[in-house]
Chain A
Amino acid sequence: MINLENINLNYKDTKALENINIELPEHGICGLLGRNGAGKTSLLSLISGYRQQTSGNLTVNGQQVYENPDILPRIAYIYDNQKDTEGEYKVKDLLRITEVLRPNWDSALANRLVKLFGVKLKKTMSSLSHGQKAAVHVIIGLAGQTPITLYDEAYLGMDAAMRKLFINELLEDYMQRPKLILFSTHYINEMENIFSEALILHEGRVLAYDSCDALREKGAVITGNVDAVDRFTEGKKILSERALGNQKEAVFFCELTESERQSAKKAGLTISQPSLQDLFIYLTEKEGEER
C-alpha cells in the first residue's frame, strides 16, 4: 500500500505537486489521468523513488521510498523516453541487466512476450522503431513482476493491434498475480474499462480519486427537450451543456436522487452515464477555469 501525506514537490519556483493526500491500495489497476503538465510524471517519479518530495510523507508498506534499497526493487517505473540510459544497449543485454535487478523476474514470460511482440533481441535500443522500443519497455514492466508497476505513457508509439496485445497480457497477468498498477495515459477512451480506480490530477492537485464506477455514478448526462432540460437543471451545478435545435444535453457532477431520476423520466428526459473520458474532459475544463 502506498501512502502519500501532504506531498509537495517544487521545481525551483514551479509547484509541480501541491498537497497530495491519497492512499493507493495493494492491488488494483489505477488510471492516472491529467492534462499535459498536470503532474502525472512528477507523481510517478516520486512513487518510484526517482525524485524526493520537497515536503510531506511518502511511504510504501510503511517504509520511506527514496534511496531505500529494500523497497526500490519492488517498484518498476516504465516510461517512454529512456534513450539517455538505454540507447546503446542491445535488447537482450537490457533484458539481462533488468533481470539481475528484479528479484521476481519471470524469464519464461519475458521470452514469450519477445516472440509475441516480434522484438529483435540483437538490435540496439536506439535502432528500434518507437513501437518496438515501447514493446521492450512493457516486456520489462510485465516480466519484472514488481508488486508496484508504474506505466507512464509507456505504450506510446505502439499501434492499435500491439496495444491490444499488451492490454490482454496485462489483464491476464493481473488475474494470476495481482499487483498495483498505476497507468498514466491520454488514451482514456481505449483504457478506461481496464481501470478499477482513477486518479485525476489537475495543475498539481488531486481533482478526483475514486473507483471508476463511483466516479461515473457521480456524473449524469441528461438529454431531451430544451425546456424540460432547463426546468430539470434549474439550481443545479452543470459541468457542460450543448443544444441542437430543440434538443439539449446537460452534464452534472453530483449524484441524482431517486426522486430526481423519476421526475426526469416522467418529463421524458433520458439519463445516461458519462464515460470516464467525458467526465475527465468536463472536469479539467471547468474546474480549471474556476481556479
Chain B
Amino acid sequence: MKLILDSQRPIYLQIKEGIEEDIVSGQLTEDEQIPSVNQIVNFYNINPVTVLKGINLLVDEGTIYKKRGIGMYVSPGASERLKMKYSKSFFEEYIEPLTRQAKPLGFTIPEINKMIERSWKGEHND
C-alpha cells in the first residue's frame, strides 16, 4: 500500500485500491492475510469507519474474504480478475491521455513506441 494518502480522492477508495495494487503486484498472494483494520487505522491515523468502507467494498467484490474472528484474506483468483479490471482503467487513464497529448504535438506511433521502450528500460529522454 502507498504510504501517503492524497487529499484529492476519497480515502476509502485509496485504501481499497492500495490493497488491490498489492494483490496485483504480488505483494499479497492468494489466501494471504491482509493488514487488519486496526493496523491500517494506526498507520494512517484515519477514521476506522473509512477503513471499513474500503474493506467492505473489497469483500463485496469478492477480492478478499473474511474468516470470522481472525481476519481478511486474499481470495483465490483475485489477482487475475483485478488485472483484467485494471487493463481497462489503465487504457482510459494513461493510454488515452497519452495519445490525446501526442497527436497535436505531431508524434507518430513508431516515435511513441520508441519512447515507451526507452522508458521501459529505465533510460532518460535527454
**Interfacial residues, chain A to chain B (CB-CB below 8 A):** 28-29, 164, 167-168, 171-172, 174-175, 189, 193-196, 212-213, 216-217, 221, 268, 272-273, 275
Contact of B41 (CB < 8 Å), options: A175, A189, A275: A175
Q: When the two chains form their complex, are residues A272 and B8 in contact, meaning their CB atoms are under 8 A apart?
A: yes
10 contacts between A and B (CB under 8 A): A172-B42, A174-B48, A175-B37, A193-B11, A193-B44, A193-B50, A194-B46, A196-B49, A221-B8, A273-B10
Contact with A along B14-40 (1 / 0, CB 8 A): 000000000000000000000001100
Considering only CB atoms, which chain A residue lies closest to B9 in the complex? A273
Knowing A272-B8, A273-B8, A273-B9, the reply to whether A195 touches B47 (Cβ < 8 A) is yes
Instruction: State the interface size on chain B (CB cutoff 8 A).
Output: 20
Closest to B49 in A: A196
Does chain A have a CB within 8 A of B12? yes
* CB within 8 Å for A272 and B45 given contacts A175-B38, A213-B53: no
8 Å CB contact of B9 from A174, A193, A196, A272:
A272
Closest to B38 in A: A175
Answer whether residue B124 sits at the interface, using C-beta atoms and an 8 A cutoff. Answer: no
B87 within 8 A of A: no
Q: Across the interface, do B10 and A216 meet the contact criterion of CB distance under 8 Å?
A: yes
Give CA–CA (A287, B119) in the complex, Å: 48
Q: Which residues of B contact A168 (CB under 8 A)?
A: 42, 45
Contact of A196 with B45 in the complex, beta carbons under 8 Å: no
Minimum C-beta distance from A194 to chain B (A) = 5
Which residues of the partner chain A approach B100 to less than 8 Å between Cβ atoms? 268
Chain A binding surface, main DSSP class: helix
A29, A174, A195, A273 — which one has the most chain B CB atoms within 10 A of its CB? Answer: A273
The answer to whether A193 and B47 touch (CB under 8 A), given A171-B42, A172-B42, A268-B100, is yes
* The 3 A-B residue pairs with the shortest CB-CB distance in the complex, in nearest-first order: A272-B8, A275-B7, A193-B46
Asked whether A175 and B48 contact (CB < 8 A) given A168-B42, A213-B53, the answer is: yes
B48 nearest CB neighbor, chain A only:
A175
**B5: Cβ under 8 A from any A Cβ:** yes
Residues of B within 8 A of A172 (CB): 42
Chain B residues in 8 Å Cβ range of A217:
10
Tell me the minimal C-beta distance from B86 to chain A in angstroms. 18
Q: Which residue of B lies closest to A193 (CB)?
A: B46
- The distance from the CB of B59 to the nearest CB of chain A, in whole angstroms, is 18
14 further contact pairs, Cβ within 8 A, besides A164-B45, A275-B7: A168-B42, A171-B41, A171-B46, A175-B48, A193-B44, A193-B45, A193-B46, A193-B50, A196-B50, A213-B12, A216-B10, A221-B8, A273-B7, A275-B8
Closest chain A residue to B8 by CB distance?
Answer: A272
In angstroms, Cα B100 to Cα A291, docked, is: 44
List the A side residues contacting B7 at CB < 8 Å.
189, 273, 275
